[in-house]
Structure 1
Amino acid sequence: MDEKLLILDLDTFSGSERFLSKTGLRTAFSQGMRAYLDGRYAQAVGEFNQALIATIVETDEYTQIWDRERAIIHLYLGNSHAYQDNWSEALNEYLNVVQIDAQLAEAHYNLGVAFRALGKLNDAILAFKVALEYNPDLYEGHFALGRCYHELGEYAPAYISYTLARQIRPNAAEPIYYQGMLHQAHGEMREAARCFAEALQVEPEYIYNNRLAQQVPELPPAEHDATWYYQLADTQKAQGNLSGAAQAYRALLNMHPNEVKGRYFLANILARQNEWEEAIAEYIRVLELDPKFVQARYKLALSYRAIHQLRESYNTTLECARQEPNNYTFFISLGLILGDLNQFGLAVKAFERAAQLNPADPQIYYRLGRALIMAGFEERAMLAWQTALKLNENWQPARYDLGLLFIKRGRYPEAIRCFERIYRQFPDDVETAYLLGLAFKELGRLDEAVELLENVIRARADHYMVHFHLGGSLLRLGQTAKGMAHMREYERLRAAQAHPRQGQPGGFSQAGPRTTGQPFLGEVTPPTNPKVNGNGFAKTNGHSNGNGTGKLNGYANGNGNGSKIGPLGPVDLAFIPGKMSQN
């Protein structure tokens, strides 16, 4: 290591007045402190050890010490070893301290110093971070953390740590000087010279690079600082360290609170980490600085939706659509929010507008189909899903829901074509296997139905409707004993599941949109697995007609044809109601 870090003492002994009582403990500790302050560290080690022995062998009430008092003795014992460069012994004492009293920030810091002295930089970094958890304003902790990162070649977090140290102690030359060293390592000699000169200015006695200090450039520090913070944040994001990038943006905003781009990037990171309340506050601040920043407004709307503040999300998205009426993404989001609010007719119009603006996007037609189903327009939903599949034949959510609609309408050959294609791609999907088996059964292809339904039973023995349809198929094939066994199991499971958990009507999770996109993403990408994730529009009951053939219900009521809703004009927002109030 190029230099030692400072060892910290404690500022106070408050609560440890018993060290001053007339006991062997008091005598040993007092003599140890006197030797320690005089720099006689070997003698101090002996006295502090005697103090620890006194707590064991003496029985007076004044020698019965608290954990904090015992930790203090170990801390100064460790410091005495450290000043003699006996780092292994010092390390052991500091470990004793943090085990006895984990809340002593100075102990964690000194532990980090010992780790660094022994070349264990990663352990040192962890110790310094713990110290900063207990005392975020510990200047020495931030600076030491920067030195460790610097020595590991991790320049971005090192620069951030030096910056935080400078914010706590603006007149300290050390972090400024080492920021200059980082610039120098990158070949940025003018910026390095400026740091060296600034270090000299704030602390004239500090050792600095005199040659470079003669080359101080005439550049505005603010411009340099902003650029550097953005570079540091980009480096952290490239390494997958979002927390480090957020720290860089926060450091930038501490110096330049009106930096709109930095605040927007920070809000995006907070949203990606699901820290929605903080993200919302930052987006609002961005819009206060720049009301025309429509992407920030859109991200604000998505954040509101993520925490189910739907009216705020709607009103914010509506404002985005007013600012950019030809942006189809905003209309997709409006459709989703209106669906969340059970305004399915208006959701249909929003998706139709999105389809006009971007007719080549299959997700729009898929979402349009779902809104049409909920609004009661089955024929139009079918056309929307078929359009989605023409645009992207691998869009399995549309194929799955289309298959459900075919089963509901008794169009079993078409349903089979839909589910067979999904099943070939996802042979472990028991829901697809169940629906395919059901379609085979309704079409009279009983052997194929039995084979599939038996596969489902092996995966989901508690799915009582599979027992019902499997039993019915076996009875029709003349296998009476097996068929009746499954019928009895159906009755038993149905009685046991008379009150199923939410999301599992009929012993099975609801068939749903099979999408995995999060609200914050603002779009849906073609999924790689059609597994259900979300609420569905259909559920199975399979026994409502009493003949064992089964059918699907759960669709919204409607005549399934006709069109009550006309197309929208190119920039027509009249169909959207005004801002929604909290009431």
Structure 2
Amino acid sequence: MSHWFLKASLPALVLLLCACSRDPQKAKQQYLESGQRYARKGDHKSAIIQFQNALRYDRQSVDVLHHLSESYLANRQPREAYAALMQAVAIDPNRVDVRLNLGQLYLGARDFKKAEEQANFVIQHDPKNATGHQILGAAMAAQNNHPKAVEAFEKAAQLAPQEASSFINLGLSLNAAGKRAEAELNFRKAVDLDPRSVPAHLALGEFLARTGQLESAEQALQKGIDANPEATGLYLAKADLLAAQSKTEALDALAATLRQRVRKPETALALGDFFARRDQRERAIQEYRRGLELAPQHSELKARLVEQHLAAGKVEEAERWNAEILRDNPKDVQAGITRGRILLAQGKRDEAINELRQQVTRARDSAQAHHFLGLAYVRNLQAAQAKASFQEAMRLDPGFLPARQSLAELQMSLGELAAAREVAEGSVRTFPDNAAARSLLATVLLRERNFTAAREHLSAARSLAPQDPAVLVMLGVSHAAERRWAEAEREFESALKLNPRYSPALAELAGLWVLNGQPAKAIARLQAHVAANPEDADTYLTLGSVYRQTRDYARAQAAFERVVQLAPRNMQARLQLASVLQEQGHLDQAIEQFEYSLKLEPRSSSLHALLGTARLKKGDAEAARQHFEQGLALDPSSAVLANNLAVTMAEQGGNLDAALALAQKARQLAPDLVNAADTLGWIHYQKGLYNSALPLLEEAVRKAPESATYNYHLGMALIAAGQKERGRTHLETALRLKLDAKDAARAREALGKAR
């Protein structure tokens, strides 16, 4: 049977191929129509293949290129769409539909001048083309030319009086021009024209909310929900409004209604995102899991779960969900990037960098891959490579703001404030209406202590993103920096009114109260918050810090232990816990915390410094020396490590010349570091160079007169130099300041001999 089939079918196949070769136009048309069918079904990958097949038979077909560009756009391939459109324009410069698509593409790429050019070309060739006027209006609005935008949208409304979108855009432009009454009329007209238009109801609701008409905004959005009971966006807009007014019961009821009416994974995704934005991580996770019950293979829901678990410090859970995504699609670049981030969170920096390099190789045009590789380099103390990665991400996608933020933050950490300001100012020039860009520039200006300019940009950011508590917190910080306590407190409270779970605002507010001598008020507020939110690790961390500042070490320890329980990889909590344990004399437990932290961050020179210091206090000088050496190998420019290693070597009776070289290096790296002056002076004393030792030891005592150790060192050097009376004074001061037992015995012996 199979042989007969082959014999019968091969000639037919040959005839089909021959027919196609004889009539290429018919073949092109068949592929074109097939591609259109796939596009109508939403299968744009298959549509692209069919349109490309059609082009094999007619490379000059503008129709095919036009459809191909639309499928590229739908498949999120803007570069390929642009190439197809430019090829179509080169073939037929007067095709209006191609010019319209090109104008819309320029709008999406934020190249508003070129979008304006395309719109004007369309209008010149077809003055009654409403879409051309819409594109022109959008380009004008983006360039803050509101009168021209209003003019263009008014023309579009005249040409398409039954299109709700014409009046929505006109309303937006009138509002931007300050004509609020006219704007509201146009939003309402859009709703009247098309009661089922979700954008119309959203535009009206947002306008009413922004103008303080909250009850009317709720009613407008509810009217939209009644007309569109499955429009998730309307529910979420009303949810935002209810959350801003702290109407918790109404919000919960609305969410329940949405779940009941729209049982789709996309709705669970959107509702989960709503709770995630409001830092309600557990509720977000519940929604994503609910979505997976409806669609167990939904990779986007799994990706959201990965992000939430990563944010919570639950790296193992994040790894489990990400592994599921990769199991279903091993070549998923996004999941590969996330695998690199997970490795980084696990402290496996070299493995993370290798993984992210692989993803960059697989997706060289991915700004996100380059960005996360840059973040891995930052963690690995490779600043030059990090800068190069961030800059490449910016080159690939000038609109990818996270890369700009990371580059500016790195530059600030390196003290390169002018370079950071240049990056931030470029972001504002590119995105003048982006709140995050404004906040980035404000951050740099705050570092430069230019508080007035910072607040100007933050005020603009607040207008652009009125529901973002982070902007209000930054405003509060700017006031606090100038000791304007009342204004700072007001901004922090306003941020918490927007989002009661926003831990940075609560941390700043508590810090403000502690600074103003009100620690009890801060503790009461923080205790109330963690009682209502027992899973909030960030606020437990703040509470522990306040307890520590008030020397309530037992409660501080309990708070930090709770953070470690909730987020085992929270380095800040472990370091704070170790410090509190040290302050209580529990050195062994403190060392355990430092060692666990070092496993998480094996390339941290700071952790080696802390561990070395703890080991030294415990009397294990050899282990301390090893940690100082390892830390200095990781960061040769660390004055603290060079100084500590010099001290350890000198105290162990090691090579004093080597110790002296290290102490001189520390002094050179940090000339104002009082420890470095004392260490260098003490080593000079041990080498019998008393005249070299005295100025350094006197400097240390002058800067820290209450230090028992510094007074002891100076006293011993003065006696050795023959200045016995001054020497006795400093040794007696050292003993009064509770010198440690070993040095106290030496001081008393020296005093006895000097009498």
- TM-score if structure 2 supplies the norm length? 0.36
Relative to total residues, which structure has the larger helix share, 1 or 2?
A: 2
